[in-house]
Amino acid sequence: MITLRGLTAEHGGHPVLRGIDAELAVGEFVHLIGENGSGKSTLLRVVAGLHAPGGGDVRVGGHPPDAPEAKALRGFVQDDPPLYDYLSVREQLAFTARLWGLRPAAALTALERFGAGQWADHLVRELSLGTRKKVGLVAATLHAPRLVLLDEPFNGLDHAAVDALTALLAEWKQEGRTVLAVSHDHHGFDDLVDRRMRLDGGRLA
């Protein structure tokens, strides 16, 4: 599902990723660990087509990460989701649903699963980080992507939402979806992960 060959990347003119070689098979759940500044989020953004690589080759389902075919395969749950602050949660999710040709009601049902349905008519700018993440998770995965990228997914979530997300991840694993999750430590995903990798100084250790 993901193939990285000699991947390099810079941020602000400084090297961040230094020759990454890795493969994620279809249906594999991989947990990528690394300290802050190790390049985890940059790697996810490259795979998501949001950060241009400096060198090497990146393929998502056999396609370049910015290709329409890769976009349809992929959902990227960011640590701080890129939501429209001036929209209500209902409007944000309806907008996302229309982009994928889906009914907005499906998004609100998914939001209820995380105990955030009561925020549907609040403006996004009024939300806490944890609630923004719930909305962002629903928006990023509404189209049932076969590949899910997760950046510090449990950060800011309450206990009930952590349990709901863990259950959802287990469902995705049973469905054969590919998941690449990054965090700064080993905690989380213990019963789900097929493989762990560590990123240290922009290199896979």
CB neighbour burial string for 78-105, b if at least 16 within 10 angstroms, e if fewer = bbebebeeeebbbbbbbebbeeeebebe
Domain assignment of residue 27, given as a range: 2-204
Cα–Cα distance for residue pair 64/86, rounded to 1 Å? 33
CATH classification of the domain holding 141:
3.40.50.300
Q: Locate tokens 């097929």: which residue?
A: 194
Q: What pLDDT score does 106 carry?
A: 83
Looking at the DSSP assignment, which residues form a beta bridge with residue 179?
Answer: 29, 148
Main-chain dihedrals φ then ψ at residue 194, nearest 5 degrees: -90, -30
- The torsion of the CA quartet 76, 112, 185, 34, rounded to 10 degrees, works out to 10
- The mean pLDDT values, 10 residues at a time, for the chain of 205 residues are 96 90 96 90 96 95 96 94 94 92 86 88 93 93 95 89 91 95 80 92 89
Q: Is the dihedral of CA 57, 59, 62, 63 positive or negative?
A: negative
Q: What pLDDT score does 113 carry?
A: 85
Q: What pLDDT score does 205 carry?
A: 83
Collapsing DSSP states into helix, strand and coil, what is residue 7? strand
Number of domains in the chain: 1
- In the DSSP assignment, the letter for residue 126 is G
